[in-house]
């Protein structure tokens, strides 16, 4: 894995390492407590092409698309944008209670957008995203358990009226799926079975 790609993955993964937008609704516990730990239980890295990535009407190419799932059920489709003016420009479509509606179709209702840039405050050198209340949906065609995702489409609008859109198509390469830690997941909300 090239160094710049590893760095992007670390930044994207850093979106969800215990920062407030990645936790379910409760506030963060005091630093150093037993609960002060990342809550991501797995992530999937997808290889392919972003046919469309739009942020408030402005189009961007993308560098990578990944899916993160937390122990508490929050999930994110995260997109690292290829923005020459900001190497930390990352957006994430974030929601809770994603469900598999039919075989090989996973839908995630979006309730917030996580927005990251070089201008965001940093924790341990990683920018902390701004969370924007939003509404929308992401739809993934494929099956994580079989390491196959053919497409991901997302559309959301935040409470300020800004629109976000993603149309990702796989190149056919099996996804890279990593289980960060074993958790007890409700089968109804588990996109991996």
Q: How far is CA 10 from CA 78, 83, 88, 89, 147, in A?
A: 12, 17, 11, 13, 21
* Number of compact structural domains in the chain: 1
- Strand-pairing partners, residue 107, are 99, 139
Dihedral sign from CA coordinates of 77, 83, 38, 122: negative
pLDDT tens digits, residue range 135-174? 999 999 998 888 899 999 999 999 999 999 999 999 999 9
Domain around 62: 3-189
Predicted local confidence at residue 46, as pLDDT: 95
Q: Which residues contact 87 (CB under 8 A, 6 or more apart)?
A: 118
Nearest-angstrom CA–CA distance, 188 and 120: 35
State the CB neighbour count (10 A cutoff) for residue 190: 17
- Supply the DSSP symbol for 27: P
Mean pLDDT on 16-41? 43
Predicted local confidence at residue 182, as pLDDT: 59
Q: Where is pLDDT greater, at 93 or 73?
A: 93
Q: How far is CA 189 from CA 4, 9, 45, 75, in A?
A: 33, 25, 20, 10
């Amino acid at each position: 894995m090239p160094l710049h790609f590893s760095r992007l993955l670390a930044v994207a993964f850093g979106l969800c390492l215990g920062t407030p937008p990645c936790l379910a609704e409760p506030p963060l516990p005091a630093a150093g407590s037993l609960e002060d730990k990342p809550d991501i239980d797995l992530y999937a890295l997808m290889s392919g092409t972003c046919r469309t990535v739009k942020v408030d009407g402005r189009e961007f190419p993308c560098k990578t698309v990944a899916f993160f799932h937390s122990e508490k059920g929050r999930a994110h489709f995260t997109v690292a944008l290829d923005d020459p003016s900001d190497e930390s420009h990352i957006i994430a479509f974030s929601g809770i209670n994603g469900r598999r509606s039919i075989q090989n179709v996973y839908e995630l209702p979006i309730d917030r957008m996580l927005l990251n840039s070089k201008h965001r405050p940093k924790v341990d050198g990683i920018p902390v995203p701004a969370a924007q209340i939003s509404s929308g949906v992401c739809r993934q065609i494929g099956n994580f358990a079989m390491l196959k995702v053919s497409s991901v489409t997302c559309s959301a609008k935040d409470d300020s009226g800004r629109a976000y859109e993603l149309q990702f198509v796989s190149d056919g390469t099996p996804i890279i799926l990593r289980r960060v830690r074993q958790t007890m997941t409700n089968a109804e909300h588990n996109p991996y079975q």
